Chains A and B, each alone.
Chain A
Amino acid sequence: MNNEGVIYRISGPVVTATGMNAAMYDVVRVGHEGLMGEVIELHGEKAVIQVYEDTSGIRPGEPVLNTQETLSVSLGPGLLTQIYDGIQRPLPTLEEEMGVFITRGVDADAFDLEKIWTFEPQVAVGDEVVAGQVIGHVQETETIVHKIMVPPSVSGVVKSIESGDYNVTQTICVLDNGTEMQMMQKWPVRTPRPFQQKYAPETPLITGMRILDFLFPLAKGGAAGIPGPFGSGKTVTQQSLAKYSDAQLVVYIGCGERGNEMTEVLDEFPHLIDPNTGKPLMERTVMIANTSNMPVAAREASVYTGITIAEYFRDMGYDVALMADSTSRWAEAMREISSRLEEMPGEEGYPAYLSSRIAEFYERAGRVETLNGDDGSVTVIGAVSPPGGDISEPVSQGTLRIVKVFWGLDAGLARQRHFPAINWLNSYSLYPQSLDQWFRDNISQDFPEVRTQISGLLQIESELQEIVQLVGSDALPTDQQLTLEVARMIREYFLQQNGFHDVDAYCDIHLQYQMAKAILSFQDAAKSAMASGAVLNDVVNVPARSDLMRGRFEKGYIDVIADMVKKMTDQIAETVEEN
């Protein structure tokens, strides 16, 4: 085997090497500086390599070394709270090694290999262990127990097992067949980690955002797409999900986006408290930042790095949520590399395999029975940035074909400062059928019916609005005017939510239900009052109603909302007597 070749050609991030034995997706070191690259095409003697770092100044004739490994991530205690680039180099380490600008040729361990963790064994000598089985625990952060698992494809009888303080490369367990195990293992990023079987999802991922949880719920283990033009709030929505969703772990991938945005996340997250555990958010988060000006091949790899880490935690039995912002930049990275390879393009210059890559990626989401029989899930939420906001383009379409939840962001709503700017008319979720039982059991028996009523009102409103555009609202009969008022209440009180407000940013699912019921109570009270002769204007303007609506910005709203609704319906009833 000849592992060493020479560079034949360089064209941007694509380098061709000759004279080297190589297999697809082998990781290679390019040039005297040893830049990291990956074999992506073979032509007889020639291997085409995508390089994860800038190639300026590299010349034909420089050496290329094949490491014979595939692109892998390191998995073990130390992952949490980290911020990585697209190929799992920690950004703080890169800063130490090369200063504030990212140069090249620097290798960095994914986490501190010397750091000592306390390993508590969960198996004993003589126990038989199988692939995926948990052999020990490490308390990695205050909230997360890192479970050390037997790597997939390994099994045997425990010959020796340690207990106490070790670093991640020391052997902590030996099997009778001689296999030595450490706390750190590696896994190739382009291969999904194995599991026993996929289950149908039946628990919702509670996000604290009313429009998402209530109207378009996402299941734990599901996949959602958020397409939207620039300025419509994709990133704010993704960040809110990363902050407040009730996943146990969050992997956040900033893929080809703005540097300042990542900085904001880095500044903010350590100070934010997880509403579900009361601990700092950072303790359950792994971040991957490959900004738009960082090397494009590493951007292509970043989503795989992220999802492999997510799968690893899933295998421990955790519910993991992965946010990718934005998958369009990932697709563009594929397009850029494909065009350097002079491949025949498909639609809009994207490679013909675009939709199958997107599908493969989202297919790595799911709720599974892990190898060790536990129950874990990876939920994937991908932002899409369609050019000009037109979702007929290939990335949006490829995504919509595979995801079951579509949260469509709308520039018009964003311009009206209606946030989250998710369009309630064209968004959808295909999960309600499988989640309704959960909502009935855990929130209220009539939860699905309330949802249907609310979305029905919004639908009617959109039809009425077309008439209003032509003749003005005064020309409508009073019952339809009331419907418009109720729908406006839904929009302003329920759907709008201030992601930057201390209280309003996160809304408990029980409170969401109560608020929806409050709207319906208003409708019923108003209808019966008006049937007895009350005037719409009086009914709408009862003071208790605006108190009720403003109340959502106050702490402890859930304790007083029932009283406020009562007060409102009483006042509405009084409007009858005035006439």
Chain B
Amino acid sequence: MTGKEYRTITDVKGPLVFLNKTEPVAFGEIVTLRLSNGTIKNGQVLDTSDDLVIVQVFEGTAKIDRESGVTFMGDVFKLPVSTDLVGRILDGAGRPRDGGPEIVADEKADIIGAAINPYSRQSPNDFIQTGVSAIDLCTSLVRGQKLPIFSASGLPHNDIALQIARQAKLKDSDEEFIVVFCAMGITAEEYNFFRSDLERTGALENAVLFVNLADDPAVERIITPRLALTAAEYLAFEKDYHVLVIYTDMTNYCDALRQIGAAREEVPGRRGYPGYMYTDLAMLYERAGIIKNKKGSITQFPILTMPGDDITHPIPDLSGYITEGQIVISRELHQQGIYPPINVLPSLSRLMGSCIGEKTTREDHKSVSDQMYAAYAQGRELRGLVAIVGEDALNERDKQLLDFSGVFEDKFLRQTRDEDRSIEETLDLCWTLMSAIDTKYLVRLDQKWIDKYHPDNRA
């Protein structure tokens, strides 16, 4: 039935177009709308029956009237994929945005993507060195992991994401990642920042950009990450690349999801977000991973801004239940002028245990990480106490821990935007900083590592 144009629109509501008297239309089918002024818009079938078809229009429904022509394309949404994608900039619907030619397709891939059979997955255990001490030590990133940045407006999450994209590599390897960058509803300014940084460092040649900006249609954001992930899957599992997918900002994606849900008059869940948001997010996040007998991998680095800095908001909450940990950015640290302002206390990497240690990073990694974390946590807690009783009331141990928490932030967390610390440098730095604390208080360090690495014993 491709080619037949219907002029049977009955209702238009928000991003949705309702029409009747069609021939059987497939669920998920792609739709082209031709407006009376000649503009072409695209959409997708959300609900189909003998009587009524509901189409979600990606570019917004402005200027659509009952005379607009609707053509069903006979197929579900597919992205033309080939290695030519690398180095290109596309818009949120997959069309070239850089003035270059159309992508010549090796094949066309369904953008919804099928679930990876859990039996066919391979456990991720290759440590990725990001060169950012806080991440490498406390929330180590693993190839094939999905590790989001939980941030909030006004915080430098973009700088951190870019720094990771620039520096991320397997330890002792020069093998580079292909970066698939997916922008959803970010401002032109932010986009230019990303783009110029990628250009400056030459990373753009090894990147694919899918860009939906704040003034682009909101509904298009629903497909942008799916396009990006489809490209990533092709590059990783067909062409053996290691792919790092950065998407920003998931909050805009979820808001677009809510917008469609509201237009369909669905029963809303928490804060008006649709009840299926968990499943929907999982369909994106779960496309990270490694597959047995395939060389490539997909590592995901989603960025989301927590509305009102609230980690229990549905977006970070549902994300946290799906992703394998989170890196939390702190406004307090940022206001103290510390970059990167990563709060290691609520941050977590679930896959860290399998990727650190003697064979991959260094034998003392776990022990050092636990001790640094514990000492910092206690130091932070003491700050509250000091505010009440004053510093003089502390005993010797507490004083040392309190001082350490300041040093931790100033010397360990703080690094410059182009400072690429190797994991050995990070660990040695930890030992230097911890030597300010009396060894008898460092109860989480194994004695054998103290003997081997403590500055007092090394000189």
- Tell me the A residues contacting B by CB distance below 8 Å: 8-12, 16, 54-62, 83, 91-92, 94-95, 99-103, 229-231, 254, 256, 258-260, 262-264, 266-267, 289, 291-294, 296, 329, 332-333, 335-336, 339, 342, 345, 348-349, 385, 387-390, 415-417, 472, 500
B377 touches A415 (CB 8 A): yes
* CA gap between A467 and B279 in the complex, in Å: 46
- 27 contacts across the A-B interface (CB closer than 8 A): A9-B49, A10-B48, A56-B28, A57-B75, A57-B76, A58-B26, A60-B24, A60-B50, A61-B24, A91-B118, A91-B119, A101-B115, A101-B116, A258-B286, A259-B115, A263-B118, A263-B119, A289-B119, A293-B115, A293-B287, A332-B278, A336-B276, A348-B269, A349-B270, A388-B311, A415-B346, A417-B370
Chain A residue numbers with a CB within 8 Å of B389 are 472
Least Cβ–Cβ distance between B299 and chain A, in angstroms: 12
Nearest-neighbour CB distance to chain B for A214, whole angstroms, equals 25
* B112 adjacent to A54 (CB under 8 Å): yes
Selected contact of B121 from candidates A56, A260, A332, A345, CB within 8 Å:
A260
Q: How far is the CA of A257 from the CA of B350 in the complex (A)?
A: 14
* Complex-state Cα separation, A274 to B112, whole angstroms: 41
Asked whether B123 is an interface residue with its Cβ less than 8 Å from the other chain, the reply is yes
Question: What chain A residues lie within 8 Å of B124 (beta carbons)?
Answer: 260
Closest 8 A/B residue pairs (Cβ): A388-B312, A9-B49, A292-B282, A56-B28, A91-B119, A101-B114, A100-B120, A293-B286
**Interface residues of B, dominant DSSP:** mixed
From known contacts A60-B25, A339-B266, A339-B267, infer whether A102 and B114 are also in contact, taking CB-CB under 8 Å. Answer: yes
A348 touches B348 (CB 8 A): no
Shortest CB–CB separation between residue A337 and chain B, in angstroms? 10
A292 touches B286 (CB 8 A): yes
Residue B418 at the chain A interface, CB threshold 8 Å: no
Residue of A266, A291, A385 with highest tally of chain B CB at under 10 A: A291
Q: In the complex, what distance in Å separates the CA atom of A331 from the CA atom of B275? A: 11
Which single member of A229, A267, A417 contacts B374 (CB below 8 Å)?
Answer: A417
Distance between A492 CB and nearest chain B CB, rounded to angstroms: 10
Say whether B144 faces chain A, with CB atoms less than 8 Å apart.
Answer: yes
Residues of B with C-beta under 8 A to A416: 377
What are the residues of chain B within 8 A of A289 when measuring CB–CB? 118-119
Taking a contact as CB atoms under 8 Å apart, the answer to whether B48 and A9 are in contact is: yes
In the complex, what's the smallest C-beta–C-beta distance from A276 to chain B, in angstroms?
A: 26
CB distance from B114 to the nearest CB of A (A): 4
B325 beta carbon closer than 8 Å to chain A: yes
Chain B: CB-nearest residue to A294: B115
Q: Quick one: which of B279-316 are within 8 Å of A by CB?
A: 279, 282-283, 286-287, 289, 291-292, 294, 311-314
Question: Are A387's CB and B270's CB within 8 A?
Answer: yes
Contact flags B86-98 to A (C-beta < 8 A → 1, else 0): 0000000000000
Contact call A335/B144, Cβ cutoff below 8 A: no
In this complex, what residue of A is CB-closest to B346?
A: A415
Contact of B188 with A by CB under 8 A: no
Instruction: Report yes or no: B279 in contact with A95, Cβ–Cβ below 8 A.
Output: no
| Residue B268 is within 8 A (CB to CB) of chain A in the complex | yes
Instruction: Give the residue name and chain of the A residue nearest to B52 (CB).
Output: A9
Check if A336 sits within 8 Å of B275, measured CB to CB: yes
Cα A289 to Cα B116 with chains together (Å): 12
B197 within 8 A of partner (CB):
no
A121 to chain B, nearest CB (A): 36
- Given A57-B26, A259-B289, A292-B322, A387-B276 contact (CB < 8 Å): no
Given A10-B27, A55-B27, decide whether A349 and B269 contact each other with a Cβ distance below 8 A.
Answer: yes
B24, B27, B268, B274: residue with the most chain A Cβ atoms closer than 10 Å: B27
Instruction: For residue B290, give the distance in angstroms from its CB to the closest CB of chain A.
Output: 9
Given the known interface contacts A259-B286, A335-B269, A416-B377, the answer about A9 and B50 at a Cβ–Cβ threshold of 8 Å is yes
User: Do A293 and B314 form a contact, CB below 8 Å, given A258-B324, A263-B123?
Assistant: no
Which residues from B are CB-within-8-Å of A293? 115, 279, 282-283, 286-287
Which of chain A's residues have a CB closer than 8 A to the CB of B117? 91, 94-95, 100-102
Q: Any chain A CB within 8 A of the CB of B406?
A: no
A56-B76, A387-B312 known; A260 and B282 CB under 8 Å? no
B123 to A102, Cβ gap below 8 A?
no
Q: What's the dominant secondary structure at chain A's contact region?
A: mixed
Check A339 against B317 for contact (C-beta < 8 Å): no
Query: Are B283 and A500 within 8 A (Cβ)?
Result: no
Q: A263 vs B320: C-alpha distance in the bound complex, in angstroms?
A: 19
Given A91-B118, A102-B115, A259-B286, A390 and B312 contact (CB-CB distance below 8 Å): yes
CA A59 – CA B75 in complex, angstroms? Answer: 11
Cβ of B339 < 8 Å from any Cβ of A?
Answer: no
- For chain B, the bracket of interface size reads 35 or more
**A residues within 8 A CB of B113?**
101
| Most chain A beta-carbon contacts within 10 A, residue among B46, B49, B270, B289 | B49
- The verdict on B351 contacting chain A, using a C-beta distance below 8 Å, is yes
The answer to whether A389 and B49 have CB atoms under 8 Å apart is no
Extra contacts, 16 of them, besides A11-B27, A58-B27 (Cβ < 8 A), are A10-B47, A56-B27, A56-B28, A57-B76, A59-B24, A60-B24, A91-B118, A102-B114, A258-B322, A262-B118, A263-B118, A266-B118, A291-B118, A292-B286, A388-B312, A415-B346
In the complex, chain B residues whose CB is within 8 Å of the CB of A333: 279
> Which residues on B sit within 8 Å (CB–CB) of A256?
278-279, 282
Q: Determine if B123 and A385 form an interchain contact, defined as CB atoms under 8 angstroms apart.
A: no
Give chain B residues whose Cβ lies under 8 Å from the Cβ of A99: 120
- Beta-carbon contact of B278 and A472 below 8 Å: no
Smallest CB separation, A474 vs chain B (Å) = 8
Q: A345 to chain B: which residues have CB within 8 Å? A: 267
Q: Does B337 contact A (CB under 8 A)?
A: no
Cross-chain contact A57 with B29 (CB below 8 angstroms): yes
User: Within the assembled complex, what's the spacing in Å between the Cα atoms of A338 and B77?
Assistant: 27
Q: Is the CB of B346 within 8 A of A83?
A: no
Question: How far is A332 from B322 in the complex, measured between Cα atoms in Å?
Answer: 14
- Interface members, chain B 87-142 (any A CB < 8 Å): 110, 112-124
1/0 per residue B4-26: CB within 8 Å of A?
00000000000000000000111
How far in angstroms is the closest Cβ of chain A from B275? Answer: 5
By a CB distance below 8 angstroms, the chain B residues around A390 are 312
Alpha-carbon separation in the docked complex, A342 to B275 (Å): 12
Q: Is B320's CB under 8 angstroms from A230's CB? A: yes
In the assembled complex, the Cα of A296 lies from the Cα of B279 at a distance in Å of 8
> Are the C-beta atoms of B121 and A292 separated by less than 8 Å?
no
A245 vs B258: C-alpha distance when bound (angstroms): 43
Of the candidates A61, A100, A335, the one whose C-beta lies within 8 Å of that of B292 is A100
A83 to B118, CA, bound (A): 10
Chain B residues within 8 Å of A8, by CB:
49-50
Which of B122, B275, B351 lies in contact with A335, CB distance below 8 A? B275
What is the bound-complex CA distance between A187 and B434, given in angstroms?
62
Q: Which residues of B contact A291 (CB under 8 A)?
A: 115, 118, 282, 286
For chain B residues 335-379, which have a beta carbon within 8 Å of chain A? Answer: 345-346, 348, 350-351, 353-354, 370, 373-374, 377
B243: min CB distance to chain A, Å: 16
- Which of A62, A101, A259 is packed against the most chain B CB atoms within 10 Å? A259
**Nearest Cβ in chain B — how far from A378, in angstroms?**
25
The chain A residue with its CB closest to the CB of B27 is: A10
For the complex, give the distance between the alpha carbons of A100 and B294 in Å: 10
User: Chain A residues near B119 (CB, 8 Å)?
Assistant: 83, 91-92, 94-95, 263, 266, 289
Shortest Cβ distance from residue B116 to the other chain A in the assembled complex, whole angstroms: 6
